[in-house]
A and B are shown apart, each in its own frame.
Chain A
Amino acid sequence: MSEPKKIDRRNFFGKMAVGAGAAITLPYIIPSSALGKDGAVAPSNRVVMGLIGSGSMGTGDMHEFMGKPDVQMVAACDVDKQHRESAKAAMDAKYGNSDARIYSDYREFLAQEKIDAVILALPDQWHGIIAVAAANAKLDIYGQKPLARTIWEGKKIIEAVEKNNVIWQTGSWQRSEAHFHRACELVINGRIGKVSFVEVGLPDGSPTYSAHPVQPVPEGLDWDMWLGPAPSAPYRGVCHWDWRWILDYSGGQLTDWAGHHIDIAHWGLGLDRTGPIEIDARGVYPRDGIFDVPVEYSIHAKYANGIEMHYANARQVPHGMGVCWYGDKGWIHVDRGERLFASDPKILEEKIGDNEIKLYRSLNHTQNLIDCIRSREETITPCQVAHRSISAALLGEISMLTGRKIKWNPDTQEIIDDPMASRLLRRPFRTPWKLEGN
């Protein structure tokens, strides 16, 4: 729909095709701020970025990227006036001007902003629609996990990203932490022998249980736009942060953390581009209040190579939070806070030889995106990988909702012999919202 708008901005970095695009390229609009105080990186070599969703996660990501000398943040979009204005204030303070642009509607943002890349930090119900639109606008993307609220939307994001040659980095930053990388490299190179079982401990779901009566929408918040494709609902003070405890917007701690520890569990076994073949899950739902995501969950997943994984809230697994792989020669457990343990500490001193498997190395998760935007190489957590991490959790969610064991074909990405469960691979969108092209 908006093809002339997007020029081959990759020429900008001089690493891409020099021919075709250049002919139709209009002069790139360099924000005046780009000529500002930081002289270390020439403005023409900076990656120009914007932000859709400037709540707590988006703001954190924005500061992370804004701290890089070769990044220029220029615009923010949020349905909450306070959020977008504070993002602008932060950008303006950083660059010592008042040039940052703000939007309340992502469609306007994408139509107006001639930038290189965008941070997407949105409630899950919005991930599919906005990621596809941003990819179609040919923006490279830093997308917060989970990739999408449903497997169907995840597949559509991948299609759009591949069609538009977009570079995508998922916010699964544990991959760029040395000790997680080390754990995965030890496991994948057989240092604990043949792995048969993996435990993945995720946070206990612990929303508060108050009644949340219907109340006036706060000034400056476009509540209908916040809901977007999710079912219309009266405002009960559940918006920023607490949206994660309602199934219309999220799958709770399970889907929030799948992109961390399930992602790592897959990575250490080379299973991060496939998925389980059988999923049997049990959830316990809140006994009071209006929240409806599982507060206790236990998902048993079998993979085609015979490996079984147990994803559960941490209290239910012996090693607690993190990932523990069990092989026939020992176990390795890894968690945040540089926690890395093994059945025998000597395992952790093992060297990985030249001829062994070397996993993708990134020392800084956000810098990895910037480097890949320049090189046009794949990031350490492309959307194809993020899709498989969240798919495993979403299949668990479906098993919990239906009360049945789910059989899954990870190649065709279809549920086998259960049409009722199959339709839960997707959610209906409220009119008028659609994924572009669908």
Chain B
Amino acid sequence: MKKLIFSFLMLALMAGGIFLLPSCKQNQAGKAPYKALIVTGQNNHEWKASTPILKQILENSGLFAVEVAQSPEGGKDMSNFKPVFTKYNLVVLDYNGDAWPAETQKNFESYVAGGGGVVVYHAADNAFREWKEYNKIIGLGGWGDRNESDGPYVRWRDGQIVRDTIAGRGGSHGRQHPFRVTTREPEHPIMKGLPANWLHSMDELYSELRGPAENLTVLATAWSDSAKGGTHQHEPILMTVGYGKGRIFHTVIGHAMGDSTQPAMECVGFIVTLQRGAEWAATGNVTQAVPYDFPQFNTESKWSLFRPLEFEEILANLKNYQPGDTRYNLQDLTNYIRNNNDGGEKYAKLETALLRYLQGTGTAASKNFILKELSIHGTDKALPVLKKLEKDEETKEMARFASERITLQYSN
């Protein structure tokens, strides 16, 4: 089912950005305050999969109206590839292919130097070894025969970031696996409020990147495990770079697969750091809240639609729940409530929807789960519905528990 939805989504997006999720407020792109451009069209990676997902993730932040600049295919005439970068607050690089025309290169350099925002995504740091200013913009790069002449390795060692000029190749990764990302700049606006450590879902762990690394700040690293074919080093995962007045956010994660599962891009950690990094690159600030279901130290967390589910979708998924079934759908519900319990209007709406569900056709087990949630969050408004559920043999105990808990006084 998940795969079906995904394929449909991909088709729709590829067909030209149809908004097939009308209930998703973030897709009202017209209201977004900033404009972003994704540069794509050639890559040794699956750009046809990654670009539509990046577009959706940026639009779902509610901050960006996103356009795509698609280059000619590899080997074709590039001379007319001239995106007008200055029309945008943010340029997202999902490109690793033929050289851009000199004019385009110059335009990009002056866009960034003049204060433009850039997101360097995954294999974009494989591109353009020979283009000096590009390498200053990405800070670190890999492959393309990069070596010590391109700049130092940048690693976390003994409690600090070190630049290591030792000879060696630039760019490698071991086998794909889930790995832990560790914050190194907890006070940076992009990182503030994120867990100190979180488990990223299966991905390539880029290692041995090297480059000019000027004005480069490592926000987060990951241990590149030699047992997985890694380097036995803490490698940079999230970075910022300064270039002229421009702000660059560089994320090495988010490898796109050729098939319909995208663990690295579904990871809430990838999505949220991308959204926060994009906002910071475009504006210098981050205004987005960290969602409750951000991955934790030892726990992956994914959004299969690259966004949190809508409340009605969560309730629909709950309908057939039986004890012993997977609890993912239950957790979507608790996370949603915890993300949206403002103690006011927002919660009142939520509670109304929960009470409606309790009077509908869902399984008793799903209702009992909601009754437990109401015992924690519920208000007096729930009591008349709970009274009714106390008459039903299958829900009476949890309904009783919830209404007693809602009316319980601690001070007695």
Contacts and interface: CB of A to CB of B under 8 A. Distances in A.
Interface of A: 152, 204, 210-213, 231-233, 236, 282, 284-290, 292, 296, 298, 312, 315-316, 401-404, 414-415, 420, 422-428, 438
Contact of B337 (A292, A403, A428): A403
B297 A420 contact: no
B324 interface: yes
B324 A212 contact: yes
Contact of A422 (B195, B404, B410): B410
Given A402-B341, A403-B341, A428-B404, A284 B324 contact: no
Contact of B408 (A285, A316, A401, A426): A426
Given A287-B331, A423-B406, A315 B324 contact: no
B149 interface: no
Contacts of A289: 324, 327
Contact of A296 (B298, B404, B409): B298
A286 B338 contact: no
Given A403-B337, A423-B408, 20 more contacts: A212-B323, A213-B324, A231-B397, A232-B397, A282-B296, A285-B327, A287-B331, A288-B327, A290-B324, A296-B299, A315-B297, A316-B298, A403-B341, A404-B341, A415-B410, A420-B376, A423-B405, A424-B376, A424-B405, A426-B408
Nearest to A204: B298
A298 B323 contact: no
A403 B331 contact: no
B339 A298 contact: no
A274 to B, nearest CB: 19
A285 B323 contact: no
Given A316-B297, A403-B337, A428 B327 contact: no
Given A290-B324, A401-B376, A284 B299 contact: yes
Nearest to B327: A287
B317 interface: no
A254 B226 CA distance: 33
A287 B404 contact: no
Given A285-B334, A403-B339, A428-B408, A296 B296 contact: yes
11 contacts: A232-B397, A286-B327, A287-B328, A288-B325, A288-B327, A315-B297, A315-B298, A423-B406, A423-B410, A424-B376, A426-B409
A284 B296 contact: yes
A426 B406 CA distance: 11
A427 B405 contact: yes
Nearest to A213: B324
A214 to B, nearest CB: 8
Contact of A438 (B197, B404, B412): B412
B377 interface: yes
A316 B338 CA distance: 23
A104 B91 CA distance: 73
Given A284-B296, A420-B343, A426-B410, A402 B376 contact: yes
Interface of B: 195, 197, 292, 296-299, 323-328, 331, 334, 337-339, 341, 343, 376-377, 397-398, 400-401, 404-406, 408-412
A233 B299 contact: no
Contacts of A403: 292, 337-339, 341
A404 B341 CA distance: 9
B341 A298 contact: no
A204 to B, nearest CB: 8
Contacts of A232: 397
Nearest to B293: A284
Nearest to B335: A403
Contacts of B409: 423, 426
A295 to B, nearest CB: 8
Identify the 8 closest CB pairs spanning chains A and B, nearest first.
Answer: A403-B338, A211-B324, A428-B404, A425-B410, A284-B299, A316-B297, A232-B397, A231-B401
A107 to B, nearest CB: 23
A233 B338 contact: no
Residue from B325, B327, B405, B406 with most neighbouring chain A CB atoms (10 Å): B327
A227 to B, nearest CB: 10
A341 to B, nearest CB: 19
A384 to B, nearest CB: 19
A315 B199 CA distance: 12
Contacts of B292: 403
Given A315-B298, A428-B401, A285 B324 contact: no
Contacts of B323: 211-212, 236, 290
A401 B378 CA distance: 12
A429 B83 CA distance: 68
A423 B375 CA distance: 10
Residue from A212, A288, A438 with most neighbouring chain B CB atoms (10 Å): A288
Residue from B197, B327, B376, B410 with most neighbouring chain A CB atoms (10 Å): B410
Contacts of B337: 403
B377 A420 contact: yes
A152 B297 contact: no
A312 B298 CA distance: 12
Contacts of A315: 297-298
Contacts of A210: 324
Nearest to B408: A423
B331 to A, nearest CB: 6
A428 to B, nearest CB: 4
Contacts of A212: 323-324
A231 B298 contact: no
A289 B322 CA distance: 10
A286 B412 CA distance: 34
A420 B397 CA distance: 21
Residue from A233, A316, A423, A424 with most neighbouring chain B CB atoms (10 Å): A423
B410 A152 contact: yes
A318 B197 CA distance: 12
A215 to B, nearest CB: 12
Contacts of A312: 297
A315 B297 CA distance: 8
A400 to B, nearest CB: 9
A346 to B, nearest CB: 23
